[in-house]
């Protein structure tokens, strides 16, 4: 049997159908896997960010009340030990920085005006998040958790 006669007729159709089916299934599973992994990773980052920002807010009550960086340094240092955290800052009610710490040499952005207004008017204890683009081309999720005393 020659190679040429093997791909004639029904054998050819069956082999091509199987190859097409395998490619179609592989492509669909790849797309599904990428979308699912993206969703799982995003949920993990959001949950971790909300937890860390809420923890920082709970541990910063005295420092925010006194507006003294001395009381905020241990809480910020503890948050910065997590490898996913780039920076941690504590701001007063007007949005002015009280204390800040960073793991990298990145410039820390100011609090967006929209979030300043949300923090001042929203009395819920949930964390707010903002997608921020840094000057070096990185996109990060920035979490803001208000401290209510």
More reliable by pLDDT, 40 or 103: 40
What percent of the chain clears pLDDT 70, i.e. is strictly above it?
A: 75
For residues 5 and 1, give the distance between their C-alpha atoms in angstroms, rounded to a whole number. 7
What one-character-per-residue DSSP string does 52-76 give? HHHHHHHHTHHHHHHT-HHHHHHHH
- DSSP, collapsed to helix, strand or coil, labels residue 100 as strand
pLDDT tens per residue, range 18-77 = 999 999 999 999 999 999 999 999 888 888 888 888 888 888 888 888 888 899 889 889
Model pTM?
0.69
User: Comparing 149 with 13, which gets the higher pLDDT?
Assistant: 13
Instruction: Quickly tell me which residue has 């609090």 as its tokens.
Output: 111
How many Å apart are CA 101 and CA 103, to the nearest integer? Answer: 7
CB 23 within 8 A of CB 15: no
């Amino acid at each position: 049997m020659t190679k040429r006669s093997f791909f004639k007729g029904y054998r050819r159709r069956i082999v091509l159908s199987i190859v097409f089916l395998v490619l179609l299934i592989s492509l669909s599973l790849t797309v599904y896997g990428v979308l699912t992994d993206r969703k799982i990773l995003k949920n993990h980052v959001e949950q971790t960010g909300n937890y860390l920002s809420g923890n920082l807010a709970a541990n910063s009550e005295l420092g925010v009340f006194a507006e003294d960086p001395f009381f905020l340094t241990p809480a910020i240092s503890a948050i910065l030990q997590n490898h996913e955290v780039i920076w941690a800052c504590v701001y007063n009610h007007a949005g002015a920085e009280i204390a800040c710490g960073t793991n990298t040499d990145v410039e820390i952005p100011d609090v967006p005006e929209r979030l300043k207004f949300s923090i001042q008017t929203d009395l819920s204890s949930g964390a707010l998040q903002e997608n921020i683009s840094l000057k070096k081309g990185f996109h990060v999720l920035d979490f803001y958790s208000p401290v209510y005393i």
